[in-house]
A and B are shown apart, each in its own frame.
Chain A
Amino acid sequence: MRRTFSILLRNPLSLLGLILVSAVVLSAVFADFIAPFPLHRGAVVDFANFNKPPEWPYIFGTDLVGRDLFSRILYAYRISLILGVVVLAIAVPIGVAIGLFAGYLGGWTEYVLMRITDVFLSIPPLVLAMSMMGLLEPTLTNGMIAVTAMWWPWYTRLVYNLARSEKEEGYVLAAEVIGASKLHVMFREILPNCVPSILTKMTLDLGFVILIASSLSFLGLGVQPPTPDLGSMVADGAKYLPDSWWLTVFPGLAILVAVFGFNLIGDALREILGAEQ
């Protein structure tokens, strides 16, 4: 673990990733202290300062009701990260468990579980989340449910493939020969060997959950106003292109920076840990 971390620090690209991600995480956690206008995260109106291009003290400009974009982006990061963490915290255990059962037990269990997984995988990710979101009420909780529903199958596929190859390995056979229970073999023998791949994917996915969540709210199917959200900021601003370019460009770049950071780290982790794609 420590070794991994020191390798990450030495490579300029993954170092950049660490810097970007820490910046995003810190600004989300300490938004209350960093944001010049913390109140602007809510339904505040300041018509005197509306639609201002970037200038002090509004370094990213203001939106159409005069709210500071920089402050709103910081709070939007907070919500995106919470959503990302919660989604992965639910989707990963579910996906991993199903993948282990399907891959290790085989037979009918495998057939049924993997066909169910296929069903989820054959609805384009965004479309599944969109329709769930539309049918439920668009709230943060429902957003988490919708994104979780489309996310777990990817972990099932990953772990399924890993478990299928690992179960032929000597250490698994050895455990079976000495009479270890199936659950023991799955969770104590096979799972630890899947951890590098799972961790790598989780790092990459934190970025991609942010990306998908912003896509949902871009379509008006995400977190509702006045809660700040990167996707809906881009959507609102796109109507005022090209004159009020800052309304779309800064929230758009904010998504890019966060996802890029997670990707840089995830890529480096993949190389260090030799994880499967």
Chain B
Amino acid sequence: MPPVLRLLAKRLGTSLIVLIGVSLLIFAIARVIPGDPARIALGPNATAEAIAALRERLHLDDPFVLQYGYFLADLARGDLGISLYTNRPVTRDIADYLPATLELVIVSGIMMVALGLPLGVLSARYRGSWIDHVVRMVTLLGVSAPSFVWAVILMLVFAFYLPLFPIAGRISDSYTISSVTGFLLVDTLIAGDVKAFGNAAWHIVLPAFALALSGIAQAARLTRSNMVETYERPYIEMAKSYGFPEKRIAWRYAFKPSLIPSMTIIGLDFAAMLGNAFLVEAVFAWPGLSRYGVAVILRKDLNAIVGTVLIISAMFLIVNVIVDLLIAFINPRIRYSQRAS
């Protein structure tokens, strides 16, 4: 088996174990809470029979291990149960709301990499100059406020005072786009409607940037410090003493090796974005998983909570596997050490 495939298999295996752990954890938290979830779900006016029936359906009277067993068996069939809030299968709900959130997070992730890395490189190359100082100050500010504060500030400045961007939503009401992937940026292109695509892109700029800001800052800070460290390595001096072009030294000798330690953290930042998307969606009335998530949490809708957390964690684990593969792609040491183990 090629080393990269072996690595992929190994990482997927570990991720699966961790995901099962996540399900156990969140399931346990959901079952040990005080109060009767069935009563909470049905409200104060429910009859005793209705509550008993719901307890029966949720297996609430069985021992914990058995409950978890039922849950795993359902999960294996792709069934996360019925949401007590919407009375629909949790998987359906999530399938409806997840694409909007994912679209937001992916665009933010692209912004994080596309803006954060160059800023960090700039800062490291002109270390000690005013560029470096400005970048460091700005990035430190960037990580110092939660994304909902940035969302509110961006909205105030770029939607209200300077009406450059729309205030809320994913796309103007005048467009009707049939959902294929759920990603508006993709669906509008599939529909061949360039104006609608532009409109959707115009809507996503502010929320995505608000969500990306702390990630951009974090990526820039990390890239800077790793690159500064790499610039002290002997192979940089060797490259200089052989007169390799300055740009090539910056890119191939300083940036690429310094990317290896940065990548792991960038993966973790991506995970933080999956959570922070809840905050930004609330500000920009983005029809994603946030409103659903907060609603089901407030209503103690057990199936929906467990399902939502599980899906988000699965997304995170997938991102991490991808990051690991990218790292292996950059770092030959990891690619080749798979041979031995």
- Identify the A interface with B (CB < 8 A): 115-116, 118-128, 130-136, 207, 211-212, 214-215, 218-221, 231, 234-235, 238, 241-242, 245, 248-249, 252, 255-256, 259-260, 263-264, 267, 277
Contact = CB atoms under 8 A, between A and B. Distances in A.
Contact of B145 (A116, A131, A252): A252
30 contacts: A120-B25, A122-B317, A124-B272, A124-B274, A125-B272, A125-B275, A126-B276, A127-B275, A127-B293, A127-B308, A127-B309, A130-B275, A131-B26, A131-B29, A131-B30, A131-B297, A133-B297, A134-B305, A207-B144, A215-B146, A218-B148, A218-B279, A220-B298, A221-B298, A248-B156, A249-B152, A252-B145, A256-B145, A256-B149, A277-B225
Nearest to A258: B144
A214 B148 CA distance: 10
Contacts of A248: 152, 156
Contacts of A242: 156, 160-161
A149 B222 CA distance: 26
B160 A115 contact: no
Nearest to B226: A277
A126 B144 contact: no
Interface stretch (B15-23, B85-93, B186-194): B15-23
A48 to B, nearest CB: 28
Nearest to A237: B152
Nearest to A243: B160
Contacts of A136: 33-34
User: Contact residue range for chain B?
Assistant: 35 or more
B18 A115 contact: yes
Contacts, number: 151
Interface in B238-279: 265, 268, 271-276, 278-279
Interface in B15-67: 17-19, 21-22, 24-26, 29-30, 33-34
Nearest to B296: A134
A238 B152 contact: yes
A97 to B, nearest CB: 20
A131, A231, A248, A277: most-surrounded residue (chain B CB, <10 A): A131
A220 B320 contact: no
A219 B294 contact: yes
Contact of A134 (B152, B160, B298): B298
B132 to A, nearest CB: 13
Contact of A255 (B145, B276, B312): B145
Contacts of A235: 148, 282
A214 B273 CA distance: 16
A121 B271 CA distance: 9
B54 to A, nearest CB: 17
A234 B152 CA distance: 8
B203 interface: no
Contact of B148 (A215, A220, A260, A264): A215
A240 to B, nearest CB: 11
B155 interface: yes
Nearest to B225: A277
A260 B217 CA distance: 13
A270 to B, nearest CB: 9
A131 B305 contact: yes
A30 B313 CA distance: 42
Given A118-B18, A264-B140, A252 B149 contact: yes
B311 to A, nearest CB: 10
Given A124-B316, A221-B297, A238 B153 contact: no
Contacts of B293: 127, 130
A176 B144 CA distance: 43
A126, A136, A248, A277: most-surrounded residue (chain B CB, <10 A): A126
Contacts of B320: 122
B170 interface: no
Interface in B141-172: 141, 143-146, 148-149, 152-153, 155-156, 160-161
A249 to B, nearest CB: 7
Contacts of B265: 277
A126 B272 contact: yes
Contact of B312 (A124, A207, A220, A245): A124
B169 to A, nearest CB: 15
